[in-house]
Structures are given as structure tokens and as C-alpha cells.
Structure 1
Amino acid sequence: MSFMDILALVVPATIFLAAPLIFTAIGGLFSERSGVVNIGLEGLMVVGAFTGIVATLYFEGLGFGAWSPWLSLVAAVIVGAVFSLFHAVASITFKADQIVSGVALNFLAVGLTVFLVRNIYGKGQTDYVTHRISRENIPLLQEIPFIGPLLFQRVYFTSFIAIAAAIIVWYIIFYTPFGLRLRSVGEHPTAADTMGIAVNRMRYIGVLLSGAFAGMGGAVFALTTAGNFAGNTIAGQGFMALAALIFGKWHPLGVMGAALFFGLAQSLSITGQTIPFLQNVPQVYLLIAPYVLTILALTGFVGKAEAPRAIGKPYEKGSR
């Protein structure tokens, strides 16, 4: 197997596996940049995956055909945003411990979706969708030497949407008034309040956006990789996205790079047995590699990453 053949296996797999992590980690960035810790990203991905599959099955029944998964992504964004209100109300309005609220969100998501699946389908998983988000060739770009076969042949459009979203969010966070307000309530909410910024409203927006993006991430994973939904469809991807958020130092482009790194680790666990220098590595090592790298990345870099100063601290008007 040539070096080009190896790249043709690994690079496309890396990008498509990183896409759900990019969406979800960007969602976490909005929440944590506003000052609200959100370790409920796993639960929000679960809700997004559930919504994506169930909505696709519903739209297929209505005859929407190949449009079904794309309509379902919209549904997942909406449901994810609504579900994140549990965390927003608990942590912002009632000033509950944000870590506890996030953990509760994770448990609630799994329990609720499994309960609904059993009641709707009478079994522990949904039916498989007929129409998934499919791989496509990008006209003209696929003909570019070397790059074309790697990036523009048999690719998921959602991968390009995820990368574009990271770039757009980078611009929004650092070059728009909205981004300045969001960062200000996460860094110094008292000063932001003095300048007339509604701190709690901005935090609500941040948490709602985290739910919307994480819901998108869960639906993308389900509609590109799984094809159906069960209680274990999302198995740690939300925590991996949280690790990418910290590893990327709460910066959209850094988050994208970290997600691609974890996507590479996941791709090697899938394609490793076909790559000559990894063929003799036991499969179990390749399967656990993404999670080991997540731990190593956090232990090696979390101390050097500076979180927003007011993260995790409920805001009370008049407090310092």
C-alpha cells in the first residue's frame, strides 16, 4: 500500500469523524465563553441523534425521500436548543451548580430517549433509516491533483459545513458586537452589566446555541455513521468534544484543530487494520486510542489553557 493510498483512507475518515465533534465543541464554546460550564454536551448529542433518526424516519414516511435527513438536521437543532433550556434555567436562573446540572442533563437525555424509543418502536432501538447523509464528489475540485482525491471525492457535505461553521464562529466571536458581549459576560460580568449588557440574557443565548450545535453534532453522527438510534449510539463523543473545547483553548479554530486530531485517532481505530505499519497492533489498542489521547491531551494541555475568568460562577446583580 502506497503512502497516497494510506492518506486516501485516513484523511477522509478523519474529516467526517471530526465533523460531529466540531459542531458539538463549537456549541460548548458558546456556552462556556458566556460563563456557563456545559458538561452536558454528551446528553445534548444524544438528544440530537435521537431526533435526527426519528425525524428522518417520520419524513421518509411522508415521502420526502433524500431530503429527509436534511430536514431532520433542522429538527435536531431546534430540539437540542429546547432541551438545553433545562441546563440554562437550572444554572442561570436558579443558580444551581453547573457541573451537577450538566451531569443531570446527560442522565436525563439517555433515560428519556431510551424510554421514548421503547414506547414508540417497542424495542431497544429504532428502525434503520433508508436515506442517510451520503458521500458525494465535488465537481471540478475532485480533479485537483493530490488534494482532490483526499478532500473532494466521496465526502460528506456536513464535513465542509462543520469546517465553515468553525470559521464563521471565529469571526462572530472575535469581530462582531455580539461576540464581544458574549466574551465580556464570561470574563467580567459585572463590568458588562455596568455597560448595559444583559448578562443572564447573553448566557441564555450561549447555552441555547450550545444545545443547537450539539444537537446538530449528534444528528450528523447518527445520520452518517450509525443509521439508527439506541442508548449507546453516542458513547463518549460529547465528552471528546468537551476535551476538544479545552484542548483548543476555547478558540473556534483551535477547537476545530483539536476535533480533527481526535477525528484522526478515531479514523485510525477504524482503518488501522488495513494500514501496513498498524496491522500488527491489537484491535483493542486502536479502539481505545481516541479515549487515551483525550486523557493525554487534557493532562498535558489543560493547565496551559486559560478558561474564561467567570466560567462556572452564577451572576448576581451588584456582585463583584
Structure 2
Amino acid sequence: MSTATSDLSPSASTPKKPSVLAPAVAVVRSWKVPIALGAFAVIAILLFLIFGRDGVSRFEFSTAGDFVKIPLVSVDRRIVGVIVPILLVLIAAWAAWRASRAKKVPVWVIAAFAVIFMFGLLTWSATSLPVTATSLLVGAVSLSVPLIFGALGGVISERVGVVNVAIEGQLLAGAFVSALVASATHVAVLGLLAAMVAGALVSVVLAAFSIKYWVDQVIVGVVLNVLVAGLTSFLYSTLLSPNIATLNTPPRFERVNIPLLADIPIIGPMLFRQTIIVYLMYIAVFLVWYCLFHTRWGLRLRSSGEHPQAADTVGINVNRTRFWNVTLAGAIAGFGGAYFTLGSVGGFTKELTAGAGYIALAAVIFGRWDPIRATMAALLFGFATKLQSVLGTAGSPIPSEFLLMLPYVITIVAVAGLVGQVRAPAASGKAYVKQ
């Protein structure tokens, strides 16, 4: 009886309101950035502090054509060797503190860390001759041009759902064909157009095998790189070498100075005393960014790489969209390959690109498949390449073997250590089969 009474009591008969549970939030701590910064801070302590050098390093920031002359800047190596490691250790410790609280390290902090480290490295390795900072930056931009065009092509291709490992082959094909056509016609513009066609043809093969026949996209890209490298090497030996004067002496684009802007110290020589290819690169970066995120074309492209089933449902022909955009990506990369022969080197040689396509692919990943970020990443890799040559010619105490490794080491560290948690387009690398 007591049991029945207790069951019918108001407290027992009134249903309890379900408790509202707060949604579980996964705390993700990524230690990749703090570990990478800490490793470079340790290197800075060893080089700049323990094995520091005496003397004064001088930096030159002006050229003959600058409107305002900046005087030489002299810094004491021992003082810099103490201050720089302290700053780097503090930044690395702050990054570790943010990581312990599952907070991201801002990109500007990583950039500041890199600038401070590079300043310390240049100060430590400088000789009695002044370090021409303007020449270093101008060279970095020049070396970044093919990387940026290749990265733009990679962003478009992967955003639409096709992994473009064939950037190396597209750059190499563009460089070869541009040298051949421009030498035969003595018209540099025709060389540019021919380079775009060559890069597009390489992409057509990539698109045909990966989209129509569902072959693994990475395998097709690697095979195309080997094929183009072998074919251009064979044609160089049998066709270009015996006829250098007529088939491998292309006209080069001259540098064009932008009035007023070209006279600004540092920025002027770096950005506004360039060839027409570099100015077209500025336009290409803006157009790819704007069209990718602010036009119907870009929406269709991104939907085909993120959720092709949904895109197909609303009437988008996914495979056709992928095919033509991969072809466009190859044309952009081929245009960048023309810079080797029409804007920089001046003639084609075997394996002229020297792995630039793979570095461009790393820039795509480091830039999180965003045109602006990929451009910044390509500039970083170009700066590393130029820094290697500057340190080598200046008689740096760093062994030459390590200097040759520098661009590729920075590429690996950037992608593996600094890129953090990234997500590629969901359908990138997956063939779409319409149900």
C-alpha cells in the first residue's frame, strides 16, 4: 500500500523536464606550429648566440633610380645574435601557450617569426660587403613568378576536384614551346600564347584519363611529368641544340618601369620594375581570386569539387565543368613556364624547371587552396631560393650543400610543420560517376 501511495504522489506522477545538455565541444590542440617555431629558435641559439660572429653587417636598401635614398644600415652581429634568439624563443613560447589552450597561432605571428629569423641569418652570415636587400627581394619576386602561375593552376584544378600533380609537366611544356615558337617567329607574344596551348594540352591528357577513364589522378600526374621531361629532353638534344641560333634564342621581354611607383625605395624595384609577364601575374592573381569566390563560374567550380552529387542535382554537368577548368588550369601553368625562357633565363635547357611544379603544388597546400594564400606561399619559396644564391655568392659560412637544400627544406617545414589542420576540397582526387 505504501508503495502505491508513493507511486501516485505528485512528485512521482509529474514528468520531469528533460535536462538540456550542452553540446560537447572537441578540443583540438595542434602542436605542429609551436614545435616548428621551437626548432628554429634552437637553431637560432646555436648559430647566432653560441657560434656567433664578431663584426658589423651592413644592409643596403636603395638603388640608383630611387627617388628617396636610404642610407646604409649597420648592425653589430653580437648584439643581433643575442636579441634575435630571445625574440624567437618568446614567440615560440607564446605559440606553445596558445596551443595548450587549443587556440590557433595567427599567420602574422608566423610571418614575423620568419622575418626576424631571416634578419638574424643574413646578419650572421654577411661578409664585409653590404647585403643588398633590394636585390634579394627583386630576385625573390622573379623566382616566384612561375611558382605563382603554377599555384594558381593548382588551386583551380583541385578546387574543381582534380589533383594536379602535373604542374611540373605543364611548366616544362610551356617553357619548351615558348622558346621554340618565340625563336622561330621572333615574336615573344606568340611564345606566350604557345606556352598556354602547351600547358592546356598536358592538362587535356590529365583530364581525359582522370575524368573520363577514372584513372588515379596522382598516378596520371606523375606519369605526365616524366613523359614531358623525357620528351622535352629528347627534342632539346635532337632539335634545339643543333639549331640554337634559330630555334633556341627567343626574344626576351624587357623590364617596364611604372612611372612614379618604380621610384619608391624597395617596393618600386621589387614590384614596379618588372616585365609584362609579372604585371600579368598581378592581374591573374586578382582575377582567379575574384572569379573563384564572387562569380557564378566560381560557385559552380567549387561545388563540383566539394559536393559533385549536389552540383549534379541542380543541373551542373560536373565532368564537363571539371574537364574545362582543368584545361584552363594547365593553360595558366603553361603561361608561367614561359617566364623561364621569355623573362628570365632566355633559352631552354634540359629539365629547366628543376622541380618548380612540385614546389607550386606545395604552395597550393600551404595556401589552403586559396589563390591569395597560395601566392604568399609561392613568394616564400621564391625568397628561399634567392636567399640560397645570395648566401652562396656572399661567402656564407654555411656549407654549400646545406644552401642547395634550403628551398626544399623550407618547403617541407612549411607544409609539414606550419600548415596546421587543413581540409582539401571534399571531392578532390575522386572521380565522379553519375548514378
Output the TM-score relative to the length of structure 1. 0.90
Per-residue CA deviation, residues 211-252 of structure 1 (Å, 9 max, x unaligned), is 101111111123223222222211100000000011000000
* Partner amino acid, structure 1, of 2:276: F
1:227-238 matches, within 5 Å, as: 227-238=346-357
What's 1:31 paired with?
Answer: 157
Structure exhibiting the larger radius of gyration computed from Cα positions: 2
Instruction: Say if 2:151 and 2:361, in contact at 8 Å, map to a contact too.
Output: yes
What's 2:416 paired with?
Answer: 299
Q: Kindly tell me: are residues 130 and 73 of structure 1, through their superposed partners in 2, closer, same or farther at Cα, counting changes over 3 Å?
A: closer
TM-superposed CA distance for 1:169, in Å, is 0.6
Instruction: Say if 1:34 and 1:185, in contact at 8 Å, map to a contact too.
Output: yes
TM-superposed CA distance for 1:143, in Å, is 2.5
Indicate yes or no: 2:381 matched with 1:279: no
TM-superposed CA distance for 1:206, in Å, is 1.9
Indicate yes or no: 2:271 matched with 1:148: no
Q: Distance in 1 between matches of 2:269 and 2:333?
A: 30
What's 1:55 paired with?
Answer: 181
Q: Distance in 2 between matches of 1:222 and 1:283?
A: 27
Residue 205 of structure 2: which of 71, 86, 99 is its match?
A: 86
Name the SS of the counterpart of 1:312 in structure 2: coil
Q: Kindly tell me: are residues 146 and 43 of structure 1, through their superposed partners in 2, closer, same or farther at Cα, counting changes over 3 Å?
A: closer
1:218-297 matches, within 5 Å, as: 218-273=337-392, 279-297=396-414
TM-superposed CA distance for 1:144, in Å, is 3.0
TM-superposed CA distance for 1:284, in Å, is 3.0
Indicate yes or no: 2:193 matched with 1:71: no
Instruction: Say if 1:69 and 1:223, in contact at 8 Å, map to a contact too.
Output: yes
Instruction: Say if 1:142 and 1:148, in contact at 8 Å, map to a contact too.
Output: yes
TM-superposed CA distance for 1:163, in Å, is 2.4
Name the SS of the counterpart of 2:61 in structure 1: helix
Q: Kindly tell me: are residues 45 and 145 of structure 1, through their superposed partners in 2, closer, same or farther at Cα, counting changes over 3 Å?
A: closer
Residue 252 of structure 2: which of 117, 126, 132 is its match?
A: 132
Q: Kindly tell me: are residues 239 and 7 of structure 1, through their superposed partners in 2, closer, same or farther at Cα, counting changes over 3 Å?
A: same
Q: 5+ residue gaps in structure 1?
A: 61-67
Name the SS of the counterpart of 2:135 in structure 1: helix
By relative contact order (CA 8 Å, sep 6+), the higher-ranking structure is 1
What's 1:313 paired with?
Answer: 430
Aligned length: 308
Per-residue CA deviation, residues 252-300 of structure 1 (Å, 9 max, x unaligned), is 000110011011101112222456xx73323332222111111111111
* Partner amino acid, structure 2, of 1:2: F
* Partner amino acid, structure 2, of 1:50: F
Instruction: Say if 2:180 and 2:250, in contact at 8 Å, map to a contact too.
Output: no
What's 2:121 paired with?
Answer: none
Instruction: Say if 1:69 and 1:132, in contact at 8 Å, map to a contact too.
Output: yes
Q: Kindly tell me: are residues 204 and 269 of structure 1, through their superposed partners in 2, closer, same or farther at Cα, counting changes over 3 Å?
A: same
Name the SS of the counterpart of 2:342 in structure 1: helix
Q: Distance in 2 between matches of 1:10 and 1:84?
A: 34
Residue 43 of structure 1: which of 164, 169, 174 is its match?
A: 169
* Partner amino acid, structure 2, of 1:307: A
1:139-218 matches, within 5 Å, as: 139-153=259-273, 155-218=274-337
Q: Kindly tell me: are residues 144 and 243 of structure 1, through their superposed partners in 2, closer, same or farther at Cα, counting changes over 3 Å?
A: same
Output the TM-score relative to the length of structure 2. 0.67
Name the SS of the counterpart of 1:2 in structure 2: strand
TM-superposed CA distance for 1:302, in Å, is 4.8
Q: Kindly tell me: are residues 214 and 191 of structure 1, through their superposed partners in 2, closer, same or farther at Cα, counting changes over 3 Å?
A: same
Q: 5+ residue gaps in structure 2?
A: 1-57, 63-131
